[in-house]
Structure 1
Amino acid sequence: MKNTFSIHKKCMIRSISPVLLSSVVALGTFGCKRQKETPAGANNETDSVSVVDTIGKTPDTVYTLSSELYTADPSAHVFNGKLYVYPSHDFESGIPEDDLGSHFNMEDYHVFSMDSVGGEVTDHGLALHIDDVPWAGRQMWAPDAAHKDGEYFLYFPVKDKEDIFRIGVAKSTTPEGPFKAMDKHIEGSYSMDPAVFEDTDGKYYMYFGGIWGGQLQRWRNNEYHGEDTYPADDAPALSPKVALLADDMAGFAEEPKDVMILDENGNPITTGDNNRRFFEAAWVHRYKDKYYLSYSTGDTHKIVYATGDSPYGPFTYRGVILDPVLGWTNHHSIVEYQGKWWLFFHDSSMSGGKTHLRSVKMTQLKHRPDGTIQRMNTYVEP
C-alpha cells in the first residue's frame, strides 16, 4: 500500500510554559511554502551558544506517516539508502483505559519505507503477528530494528504467557520483512521499549525499560519480584537498561546495566523530578563524538535528552526536545537521513485525541553548534 506523506502547516500550538503562546495554524498540502514564525518567548537564534529553551519552537513542517493505519512508537533507520520506519500498530480493542496501558492491546507490526522525505510512503503490509510468536501472550508494544551481515532483526516487547513483558527477536533477509520470530525471548530480557544502537566500532547495544505498564519497577538487579516498588522521591530514579548484544544479535553478551542520568551537578536525577526523570522510550544517537540519550518523561509528557561520552553513560541532562503532544503518550526516534537529522514521534491528532489511537509524525531536528538540540512544540488542537 502506498500513500504520500501528509504535511501539517502551522498548527495550533499549546504552550506548556508559563508564557502564553497562541499561533493560529492551518492544514496544508504538500508543496506549499510556509512562513517561519517564532513563538513568544522562544529563542530566535539557532546558532547561539549554551542556549536553554524555555518554550518549544514550532517546526517549519510536520509530516504524517500514514493516514490509513493508526501507528505509534516509531523507530526509524536507514537501510540501503532508504528510510524505514518500524512502528507499533494501534487499533480499537475496546479494553478500558488504565494506568498500566491495558487499552494498548496491539497485535502486529507493519513496516513503512520512503526514498525521500515528503515523498511516497510504502506500507509493506504485515511484518509480524502475535500469533506467530510461540511464547507470546498479549500486547505487542514499541519495536525496533537492526541490520548486520545481510540479516535484519526486529526487536519487540510482548507479554509472555505469565503476563510478564519480555523482549523477542525476529529475523528476515529484507528490511521490510516478513519476519520470523525465534522460539524463545531474549534470555535475561524484560520490560519494554527495546532500542538498538550501532556504534562506529561495529558494536550493537540494546537499551530498554519503562515504568508503570512497562513493569521496570518489578525488577531489581535483573531479577523479577512481582510487586510494584518505586524508589523514594528523593532517591535516584529507576534507570533504563543497556546491554551489549551478542555477535548473533539474538541475545545479550553481558548482564544488563543501569544507565545513569545525572543533573547539572553530577547527581542522579531523582524519582520526584518527574520533569526530567526517565519513564520510557530510551533512544541513543551519536553526534560529533557525543552520545545522546533521549527518552520520554511519561506523566509529564516530554521528550528530553542527556549527553555522555560512552554508550554506557553516565549521561548528563541537557533539556527538552519536544513539548507535550495531543494524547497521553509520546515515543520517538532520531535518525540522520540525506544530510539532515529527523525526529519521529506520535500524537493522537488523527483520532481526534484518543490516546490509544495514534499517528506517527516526522519533523526536522536541529543540533546547535554547542551540541544542544532546538526545542520544539508540535501540539495540534483536536
Structure 2
Amino acid sequence: MPLPLRHCFSFTLLGLLLLGCQDKSAESTPATAAPDATSAGVAPPKVIYDRNKFINQPLVSHIYTADPSAHVFNGRLYIYPSRDIPTDKTPNETGDHFDMRDYHVLSLEKPGDPVVDHGVALTLEDVPWASRQLWAPDATEKDGKYYLYFPAKNKEGIFQIGVALSDSPTGPFNAEPEPIKGSFSIDPAVFKDDDGSYYLYFGGIRGGQLQRWTTGTYSDTDAYPASNQPALSPKIARLSDDMLQFAEVPRDVLLQDEGGTPLLGTDNNRRFFEAAWVHKYNGKYYFSYSTGDTHYIAYGVGDSPYGPFTYKGIVLTPVLGWTTHHSIVEYQGKWYLFYHDAQLSGGETHLRNIKVTELVHHDDGSIQPIVPYSN
C-alpha cells in the first residue's frame, strides 16, 4: 500500500553519506548506486526518487539490507541486518516475497566512515532445522562468545527462533541443531541489563504468526482480538546462562496508555505489530517497535525490562517502503537510530537498504521524532 510521507517536525540531523565496501577489501561502492545486477542478481530500480529529499543515504549499496540490529563490541559498531534478495514470489500478507537466505555482518569505526562488509556469516543451509526465510536477526556477546539470534520457518512452515555461536562478532556463526525450545514467531531482539541478565524479546503479527499462538500452541487459524480487546502482545523471556535456551516461559510485554489501559488491537497507530527493541536511558527502559500497517516506529517507557511500557510517542515517521524496522544504540556519547527504507530499489518494499541517523533524547526523557523523507 502507498505510504503517507509526513513532515511535522524539523531539527538538525546527521546528513550522512556513507560508502559500502564489499567483504574486507579497500574498494568501496558509492551509496547512491543500485546494487550491481551481475554480482547481486538484481534489476535496476523502476523509479528514481530524489535523493536530496532523504535525510540520510544508504550505508551500503552493493547488496540489499534491512532490519539493522546495531551493537558496540570492542569499541566498534557492528550491524546485523537481514539481506534482501530479488524473488519471483508473489507479494502476500504472509510475506513470502521476503525470501532472505543468509546474513552478512557489517561494521564501521564511527558514523561517517566507510562500512565494511565482512561477508556471509550464516546461510540457510547452515541451519539444520530451517526451511526458508531468514528474517530479522540480532546478536550479543557474553564471556568472549558471540550469539546470533534469528527467526526462520521450520520444516512445517512455522516460524521459530534459532541461535548460532562464534568466537568473533563477524562470524562465521555455527547454528545449534534445533531451535530454542518454546520459541515462536519472529524478530528476536536481545537486551543485556546492567545486572548481567540477558532477555530476548520477540513477536510479529500477520506474517510473523503471533496471532496463531493465542492459545499457547500453534494453530493454522489466525485469531485476532475483538475491537474492544487488548492488542496482541510482544513476548519476553530471560535467557539461560549458556544463552542457548529460555530460562523461563515467555510472557507478554504489556503496552498501555498514560492511564494504564492496555492498547487495543484496533489502535493501529500505537499498538505493537513487530520489530521489538529495548534500550536503557537514565535508568528507564525504552521499548520501541513497528506499528506495521501504519508504518511508525513508536515507543513506550517502563521501569522494568518486563514492562509494562507506557506509550510515549513516535521515534520514526513512515519510510519509503511498506516495512519499518530499527535499532537504537549509544556510541561515543551519542545515540543513533539505525533503520531501513527502499530508496535503492526505487520503492520495492522487499528490496531495502539500511541507514543511520542521530537520535535525541530530550531533558524530560522523550525522544525527538525523526522524519526520514521530505515530501
Matched residue, 1:128: 122
Cα distance in 2 between the residues matched to 1:65 and 1:125? 15
Among 269, 290, 294, the alignment partner of 1:300 is 294
Q: Find out whether 1:89 has 2:83 as its counterpart.
A: yes
Matched residue, 1:263: 257
**Which consecutive residues of structure 2, in runs of 5 or more, have no partner in the other structure?**
20-51
Q: Deviations over 1:228-280 (max 9, x none)?
A: 00001210000000000000000000000000000111100000100000000
Contact 1:326 1:347 in 2 (8 A): yes
Matched residue, 1:48: none
Give the drift of 1:225.
2.2
Paired letter, 2:6 = I
Q: Find out whether 1:154 has 2:144 as its counterpart.
A: no
Contact 2:5 2:319 in 1 (8 A): no
Matched residue, 1:74: 68
Contact 1:14 1:379 in 2 (8 A): no
Among 1, 6, 26, the alignment partner of 1:16 is 6
Contact 1:145 1:153 in 2 (8 A): yes
Contact 2:18 2:60 in 1 (8 A): no
Cα distance in 1 between the residues matched to 2:182 and 2:359? 34
Matched residue, 1:311: 305
Cα distance in 2 between the residues matched to 1:240 and 1:265? 20
Cα distance in 2 between the residues matched to 1:182 and 1:376? 38
Contact 1:63 1:363 in 2 (8 A): no
Among 273, 276, 280, the alignment partner of 2:270 is 276
Could you say what secondary structure the match of 2:92 adopts?
coil
**Which consecutive residues of structure 1, in runs of 5 or more, have no partner in the other structure?**
1-12, 32-57
Give the drift of 1:339.
0.8
Contact 2:6 2:374 in 1 (8 A): no
Matched residue, 2:207: 213
Contact 1:76 1:344 in 2 (8 A): yes
Cα distance in 2 between the residues matched to 1:165 and 1:219? 11
How many residues are treated as equivalent by the alignment?
338
Contact 1:69 1:89 in 2 (8 A): yes
Runs of 4+ with deviation above 4 angstroms: 27-31, 58-61
Percent identity between matched residues is 59
Contact 2:339 2:355 in 1 (8 A): yes
Paired letter, 1:329 = T
Could you say what secondary structure the match of 1:62 adopts?
coil
Contact 1:172 1:180 in 2 (8 A): yes
Paired letter, 2:363 = P
Contact 2:148 2:165 in 1 (8 A): yes
What TM-score, normalized to structure 2?
0.87
Among 245, 248, 259, the alignment partner of 2:242 is 248
RMSD of aligned Cα (Å):
2.2
Q: Classify 1:354/1:30 alpha carbon distance in 2 versus 1 (closer, same or farther; 3 Å).
A: closer
